[in-house]
Homo-oligomer: A and B are copies of this chain.
Amino acid sequence: MVNIIDIAKQVGVSPSTVSRVVNGKGYVKLKKREEILKIIDETGYIPNKAARNMSRGRSFAIGIVIPDTFNIFQRQLFSVIERNVDSFGYHTLFFFVKPEGVSEKACLNHMKSEKLDGVILLHELKDTLFYEYCADIKLPVISTICNHRHIPTVTIDDRQAAKEGVNHLIGLGHTKIAMICAGGFSFGNRRVEGYYEALEENGLPRDERRLVYVPQYTAESGMYGMRELLLRSRDFSAVFAASDELALGAMRSLRDEDLRIPEDVSLIGFDDIDIADYLHPRLTTIRQPIREIGEQAARYLHRVITAQQGTEAEVVLPHRLIIRDSTCTPVDKTAQ
């Protein structure tokens, strides 16, 4: 592989000069610059990243922390973030945290070994070591989901969004509303809070049996959650699923029991993932502004890294209720 010294020799200049034109720093006489560029092009020279990172002491890379079994919402966010980070001239390095407990530590060590310029969380890390590390070395972090730690975030107001979703159901006339949620993450807890708050504010009883927790934000979990709900009691006319994938799984269990959506049971999801509008029935849901979240997260990091001002630490973006076909006025079964 050709290196910077080869180029320097071929052109008859010093490596520093080549470095200058490659990095666009400092002055190099036009003619020399062109000669160098020509040789670089001919030889196909590409600077060695490792060497560059070492001498610069950093990597110009942003770490993206995401579960290795990321869901559709995370996938969409992921793409948006990658593009945005890229547009600011950084590379992205992915840190997949696996469900096994050990993984967070392994992930942290991996992060330490790279000299990251910043990290974006698409996943809530439990281990406080991570947050301490960031604080320690002043590594900028931002979370795109509600986080239990006090760190910069770009999110929606999960509690309020959930509340509006449930209020939509209540507005339709539902009074017995169940909820399926995956446990273990702050954003889920917020959505549960919103759910309860909507009930309370409307004078509706809070029945613990109508809230079921499942292990993950997947269709499979949604299916089991719905099944469990149905097993406990059929005394509800609407279900709020804490994510669209949960809702997708719930749909299946509902159909398995020959319950029609929305006639027998109204269903509302959360996120508005790309396929939500392709399901049958089309899923009513609460949209997260994925593009904005990704843009803002990338922009925030860029501002902090380049030490610019105007870096609010907490951005709350607007969500939006998207009414489709999976919710309707409840049909009075006793009247049937």
Interchain CB contact (< 8 A) of A279 among B110, B113, B223, B279: B279
A303 contacts the other chain (Cβ, under 8 Å)?
no
- Mask: chain A, 140-168; 1 = CB below 8 Å from B; 0 = not: 00000000000000000000000000000
Cβ contact within 8 Å between A219 and B92? no
The A66-102 residues at the B interface (CB cut-off 8 A) are 68-70, 72, 75, 79, 82-83, 86, 91-94, 96, 98
The segment from A169-177, A203-211, A246-254, A305-313 found at the interface with B is A246-254
A38 to B76, CA, bound (A): 43
Closest to A280 in B: B280
Cβ contact within 8 Å between A46 and B280? no
User: With A219-B278, A275-B248, A278-B251 in contact, do A113 and B49 touch (Cβ < 8 Å)?
Assistant: yes
Interchain CB contact (< 8 A) of A48 among B110, B113, B223: B113
Cβ contact within 8 Å between A255 and B274? no
Inter-chain contacts of A92 with B (CB < 8 A):
94
User: With A113-B47, A275-B219, A280-B255 in contact, do A75 and B70 touch (Cβ < 8 Å)?
Assistant: yes
Cβ contact within 8 Å between A68 and B82? yes
A98 to B83, CA, bound (A): 9
A30 contacts the other chain (Cβ, under 8 Å)?
no
A1 contacts the other chain (Cβ, under 8 Å)?
yes
**Interface size for chain A: under 10, 10 to 19, 20 to 34, or 35 or more residues?**
35 or more
Interchain CB contact (< 8 A) of A82 among B96, B113, B115, B249: B96
A112 contacts the other chain (Cβ, under 8 Å)?
yes
A contact set with B: CB distance below 8 Å: 1, 44, 46-54, 59, 68-70, 72, 75, 79, 82-83, 86, 91-94, 96, 98, 109-110, 112-115, 137, 219, 223, 248-249, 251-252, 255, 274-275, 277-280
- Ranked nearest first, the 10 interchain pairs of A and B with the lowest CB-CB distance are A50-B53, A46-B112, A50-B54, A49-B113, A280-B280, A219-B278, A50-B50, A46-B113, A252-B278, A248-B278
